[in-house]
Structure 1
Amino acid sequence: MEQVSKQAASAPRQTIRNRVAFLDKKTPVYASVLGILGILIVWELISRMELVPALYLPAPTAIVAMGWGMLTTGEIHQNLLASLYRIGAGYAIGASVGIIIGLLLGFFRWLDAVLTPVVFSIFPIPKIALLPLFIMWLGIGETPKVTLIAIGVFFPAVINTYAGVKNVDPILIKAAVTFGAKPFNVIRKVILPASLPMIFAGLKMSASISLLLLVTSEMIAANSGVGSMILRYGNLMMTMNLMVGVMLLSVLGLSFNRLLEWLERKLLPWK
């Protein structure tokens, strides 16, 4: 009798576990690969069957062959290194300054009252519109492009960091202050770890923005870089060469995102 009652009691729990079992299932690694391969196969078939002229949509295999040729001549190295320098410097400067300012704005009320309205009033301005102004101020060269990327990265970083600080449980902050923690230690040991999920959300958003600003600035005011290469081949109607540049941007964006996800897993093991 007792065994029957135990089985009856465990039945609802087993039912609940069965209902939520799909939430614990992990997506296999090959699922993402299969999705990309599926798109490439369909693309290849469309091009091979000439449903779309090759001038407008060359086959992926033809693009890969063209890319290999451009790689052997050194053209890809030259343009990719120029783009990596610009986006790396701009992203590092904009993200680091944005995180620091966001932490300070969220922690110090007087800074919040003075500077937050300024940040939110400048944020909606399209950043690419500032490039001519930066060229006037900083001259023609790498500085205005790096500055433009840094400005574009700064705003998502500072706004998300600010939001993360504001969402920290006040009890944690008060407890740290009560036990004698100085403001710097409160920020470093309490606020920063608690704000990291929102900070990384801003960094991921900034990654796509930085890539967009990189390509746009290179198309407007550069003789090297992936964006400049795409514009040059587009003007010459050399679609396969142009698509090589587009593929490079896709790989660059994917690598950037994977790097941020790896850093997030290392810094937020509890998430």
Structure 2
Amino acid sequence: MNKPLNQKWFYAQLLVYQMFMLFINPILVIVTLPYTFYHFSPNWGMQDKDMPPVQLYIDHFYRLHPDLIVGLHSNFERLQLFTGKDPIPLQRIAFWPYKYDKNTGQTEFNFVAALFAVLEDAGWPRRVIWTFLRDEVEKNTVDLGLTDAQKGEFARVMQKMSSHHLAGYITKLSHKVYGARMNKQAREMMSNLEPLTDLHTVIPVSLNSVDWVLQRGCVVSPNPTAVWESFERLSRLSKFSAIWGWVGKGRTLEEAIGKHWQILDMRLKPWDE
């Protein structure tokens, strides 16, 4: 009998948290301007001189995983056609290699960069994403012909972009302060759910890695150790439906399997989108 009430209370608290962050963020931006301008690149955008070594790794990642990136590209085009809006978080694209045309006002980028921008916008820490890109490319060093000098240049930019990132520090702190209570309630809600499937691979999403994004055809569920935080991240990914289909109210696993790169277990969400 208490389950619906707990669920409503959970989402009410989630809304309060989101509204609080929406209110406090502009204040934080103003107060911390001296610090963020001193560490300009990680807080405001990648400099042109740092783009080439990162672009090299991005190009290699595309060669390793073309199906994932092509699917994401198609999804962006479809979302843009249906909504009339650009679904790409351009504020995150600024931290990856891109070209801006002043005459047309258009930003050009590789869709590998879009993938990482989406993951960061959903909540995965920047260092986690950069580590994933580095490891995925460098484990194929021989095949890709990477030199020690190229690795060193990438490591230099990675360190620069992943250090002194103030927004990342603030997000980490807010989750630490606010997340414990939310996770307790979310775990209680999750314990009431029946197992989704025994026919397909189900993996709890990792909060400290994005390796799971390469496992095509699997079902991605919230992590039992941090249900609220992982569910919140997966919710932001669910709109990119060509890549991440989801199971929830009115959407069954049978309808989703085979149509998407991965399936998200979104049954905690009480509404259909």
Asked if TM exceeds 0.5, the reply is no
* TM-score, length-scaled by structure 2: 0.27
* TM-score, length-scaled by structure 1: 0.27
Is the radius of gyration larger for structure 1 or structure 2? 1
Higher strand share: 2
Higher helix share: 1
RCO (CA 8 Å, sep 6+): is it higher in 1 or 2? 1
